[in-house]
Amino acid sequence: MGLLPYGAGSTNQLRGLVYTQLLMERNHIKLTFRCYTFKRLTYIIFQVNAVNTFEETPLHIATLRSPSKIIAKLLLTSGAYHDPKSGNSMGLLMELALQASSSWHIDVIKLLVRHGAQLNAVEPLGKRSLLHIVAMTGYLPLASYLLEEGVNVYARNLQQKTPLQMAIMFNNWDMMELLMDWCSELEKDVDSVDSKQDISQDDDSNQKY
């Protein structure tokens, strides 16, 4: 009978030592896994922003040369920069706007915007906005999307041309009509606001007297 407490105590002690050892090993494995994950993520981020001899990143290739929305999304979620520059390129967003001819391009532009790209971006050389580019190409669906998102329809490029003037220069009559209609709606809104302000000011003046 006297051996039972001793044996039980030894067993409990042994179990405690084994548990402590397993806990230490598990924590070590966790720490090792976290270090590996961090190194792997760092490696992936550097790789997704790597450039080839043409100064193109994988995102350039996935959106411009060999289009794949799935690959583009994977690259962006893996840390790819949303607007990498490529040589003398205008920027990825501008290049997409220049090439845009289908809903696929608009979807990719929306994807870039969700990852930080700015629709009010201006290309450095000619100071053209996205709407200037689309006014040149005449792709109406992209122009409609940009206008609905609030881009500046009155923006001027380096030659002081507005998107409407660019549409006229490139004989894009449907684009010209869209931009004129949009400008008219904006002016109506401005006139409406001005009228309300005038009425409000008149009311204030009448109350004073």
Instruction: Please say which residue of 118, 136, 153 terminates a domain.
Output: 118
- Conformation bin of residue 97: beta by default, left when phi > 0, alpha when psi is -120 to 50: alpha
Residue 24 in any domain: the answer is no
CATH number, domain of 101, equals 1.25.40
pTM: 0.68
CATH number reported for the structural domain that contains residue 127 in this entry: 1.25.40.20
Residues 67 and 144 in one domain: no
The Cα-based distances of 173 to 62, 101, 129, 186, 195 in angstroms read 32, 17, 19, 20, 32
Residues of the domain holding 71: 32-118
Residue that finishes a domain, picked among 118, 138, 164: 118
Per-residue pLDDT at 193:
41
Same domain, yes or no, for 92 and 130? Answer: no
Do 101 and 170 belong to one domain? no
Token pair listed for 14: 């042994």
**Is the Cα torsion angle 43, 49, 52, 53 positive or negative in sign?**
negative
Question: What's the pLDDT score for residue 108?
Answer: 95
> Does residue 146 sit within a domain?
yes
The dihedral sign for the CA sequence 77, 78, 79, 82: negative
pLDDT at 46: 58
Does some domain include residue 133? yes
Same domain, 92 and 138: no
Residues 131 and 104 placed together within one structural domain of the fold: no
pLDDT on residue 185: 86
89/160 same-domain check? no
pLDDT tens sequence for the chain (209 residues) = 444 444 455 555 555 555 555 555 555 555 444 544 444 444 455 588 888 888 888 888 889 888 888 989 988 988 888 877 666 678 899 999 999 999 999 999 999 999 999 999 999 889 999 999 999 999 999 999 999 999 999 999 999 999 999 999 999 999 999 999 999 988 876 544 444 344 344 455 555 55
Residue 170 in domain: yes
Q: Where are the alpha helices (DSSP H) in 49-91?
A: 58-60, 69-77
- The whole-number pLDDT of residue 111 equals 95
